[in-house]
């Protein structure tokens, strides 16, 4: 089976998994449970000025770098929906997926302009108030979580790297099983064989 067909099968599987999870969620007709698209008051003054945060199921931040365009494109071509499908995933399923990247040390550099252009094309990049640098990954992760919490009132916040491919349906199903646990923290260490192409 070709790579495109495998991706299509994976996307259909994701749609089926998300539909199953959605059917298991509490009814959004209950006035005490905010709907996925409902905005709730912000706990932070750094929420883009609107004072509200969008209620979501999960926010996935994909850590990326200026030099990782091929990795971002690989994710876009496989597990991350694009365009209207990405917006529908957010609106209907409450799953927000964004690449996260800061800025270069030089204001308005060619690197920053390239990311801005890519974001204008795909609308899937979350710019952080952070200067990019390999030795600054901890600060970048903190900046992501701070901004994500300010923008979205999510049940789960997920951070992954751009060399990881995710089965969104499996991730959503796994997290849904833990949604009633307070302050749940889940981590994953890679084990087993790694698929790669030379």
Across the chain, which has 198 residues, the per-10-residue mean pLDDT values are 60 64 52 39 42 91 97 97 96 97 94 97 96 91 96 96 94 91 76 63
pLDDT at residue number 29: 38
What's this model's pTM, rounded to 2 decimal places? 0.72
- The beta strand positions in 6-106, using DSSP E, are 39-41, 52-63, 95-103
Determine the straight-line distance between the first and last CA of the chain, rounded to whole angstroms. Answer: 20
In a domain? residue 136: yes
pLDDT at residue number 183: 81
In a domain? residue 85: yes
Please give the structure tokens belonging to residue 197. Answer: 């192409």
Separation of alpha carbons 21 and 101, rounded Å: 30
In a domain? residue 86: yes
Nearest alpha carbon to residue 94 among 149, 55, 141: 55
Specify the number of domains making up the chain: 1
In a domain? residue 147: yes
Question: Taking phi first (over 0 means left), then psi (-120 to 50 degrees means alpha), and beta for anything else, what does residue 188 get?
Answer: beta
| Distant-in-sequence, close-in-space partners of 166: CB < 8 Å, separation ≥ 6 | 60, 79, 160
Residues listed for the chain: 198
**Residue the block writes with tokens 């008051």:** 41
User: Which backbone phi and psi does 39 adopt, to 5 degrees?
Assistant: -95, 140
Is the sign of the CA dihedral 159, 64, 130, 119 positive or negative?
negative
**Residue the block writes with tokens 């899937």:** 124
Nearest alpha carbon to residue 82 among 123, 120, 46: 123
In a domain? residue 116: yes
Please give the structure tokens belonging to residue 159. Answer: 């951070």
Q: Which domain holds residue 147?
A: 3-176
In a domain? residue 119: yes
In a domain? residue 183: no
| Other residues' Cβ atoms within 10 Å of the Cβ of residue 70 | 9
pLDDT at residue number 52: 85
In a domain? residue 193: no
């Amino acid at each position: 089976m070709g790579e495109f067909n495998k991706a299509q099968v994976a996307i259909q599987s994701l749609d089926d998994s998300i539909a199953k999870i959605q059917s298991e969620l509490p009814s959004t007709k209950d006035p005490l449970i905010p709907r996925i698209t409902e905005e709730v008051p912000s706990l932070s003054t750094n929420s883009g000025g609107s004072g509200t945060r969008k209620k979501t199921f999960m926010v996935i931040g994909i850590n990326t770098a200026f030099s990782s365009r091929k990795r971002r494109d690989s994710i876009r071509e496989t597990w991350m929906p694009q365009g209207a499908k990405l917006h529908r995933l957010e609106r209907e399923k409450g799953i927000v997926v964004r690449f996260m990247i800061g800025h270069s040390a030089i204001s308005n550099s060619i690197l920053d302009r390239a990311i801005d252009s890519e974001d204008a094309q795909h609308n899937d990049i979350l710019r952080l108030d952070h200067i990019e640098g390999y030795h600054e990954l901890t600060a970048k992760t903190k900046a992501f979580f701070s901004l994500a919490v300010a923008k979205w009132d999510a049940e789960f916040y997920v951070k992954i790297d751009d060399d990881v491919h995710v089965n969104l349906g499996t991730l959503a199903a796994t997290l849904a099983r833990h949604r009633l646990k307070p302050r749940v923290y889940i981590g994953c260490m890679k084990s087993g064989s790694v698929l790669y192409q030379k």
